[in-house]
Structure 1
């Protein structure tokens, strides 16, 4: 089969790879029909050393079941499925609590000997607990929106849920990438009355307004914080959703949240020393939460609105490439020429 492999920063190649096979009785082999490039894929694209490569890439995909291990039930060959970016058994205590990304029998694609989603096929461990069957065909016009259930839509929703967004809330979203925009959509779904999007790319913030943003702040740093406080009568927001993962975004979140509020981080942190002391979070009784989204816990909840067209999270895809063009997809996202790249076979 063909698969995207990263060798080092800036070096992604599509090449021949071993076909996936059933290794455990709980596995499935899935032929990938749609995948994409994630903003988090750009972190190794910027920083990975040659000594850490080569590694398979991709963790978001829709696919058709080709083979099933002997312990996998509820699926058959030919089923169209979506997979969360983290596989899990969906039966352990942590999964039952909605913490699928901490499942002791789980893990992540493109790590630990499991192939990546930017490929023609992939082995899915813990297939029965991980995969969700979709009631459409592989030619459905809904595939872009359904693909967002693998990561970005569920991650944006996790940001809002962890921040306990409720009806009437004022919410600030930091970051106009795909996760930030779908955090806007999620906050709107949960009833937020005012949603302030902090982003500076007009084509993206226009989409954010479509998803429910009521205000847009393009300024950054202290200037952006001052603008936000002007909009909120000097108080800041009760819920701040940080969808970037870099220190300047976190510092803006600390400046934007009001006393007693919540900062919910879902941007993969590219820093270790975040301020959490008396003057930043402790003194004003601010809650810091977030983490890798257990999107399997949200798929059943989010799927109906996608199927009936009430929401269109797939609008975050603004460029389509073939699998062999994936390196160009990385380049386009890195150069801010694309918001999120959709990958076809």
Structure 2
């Protein structure tokens, strides 16, 4: 029977929601609700000890290698006819059970449509850990001492592309709209989840300027804490060296006030730019004159310790005869 078709008898519903335990509740569960509870699936479990029902409703979840448990409050296991008070009782019983089992923490994965359960969870000590578009994750530390749960993401990643035409010594720059100072800067933006740094730089350059380019290396990393554009979190700003594949500018008028190819020498010494742009212009000028191998951090893909996964490592090229 599908969950949405389950119907608990009215008298039994009152017994379960108004009684906190005891014989009456146990008798009704034994006689009337085995079918209903099995209909709800894995969420409601009847624990029998020596033939008697304990009356505990223990949520099921996935136990991780650290001893924590994650419960997903999906609509299949937690249908709309479960009240907040019934959920609170079930959560209370579950917490007692998990503490007895020695679980160190609980994670509640709450879809936006199930947000009515958050208030009940908060009354049991849960706090927000993080949230995305249509769900949030709450957590509760069960073990002794202060919580050792890891925090959520602490930084946002911005990536810019310094597109250098080596033949002319010019670099592609833009001026952003809606800025108090119309300073020249390299086109860039926030990296998307799962997007490699070089791919972000190439994408942002194309979106803002219409110029197609190829990733060559990582040039610099800037770290800034309490960044206003990161909701007070820390910001990592990475600038990459790109090689142009096209040169015609067709810039985005929604984001940019103007766009141009400027000589590196001019960009390195003009006051109409930001300190970081000026510094990278000087770095590019040095690479153009003395070799990019002196400034580049090229990328190498290596196997991760996690089976079947890889990561990208940016570092100076090792000499052939290096140990």
TM range (shorter): under 0.3
With a CA cutoff of 8 Å and minimum separation of 6, indicate the structure with the bigger relative contact order: 1
Say which one has the larger Rg: 2
TM-score w.r.t. length of structure 1: 0.21
TM-score w.r.t. length of structure 2: 0.22
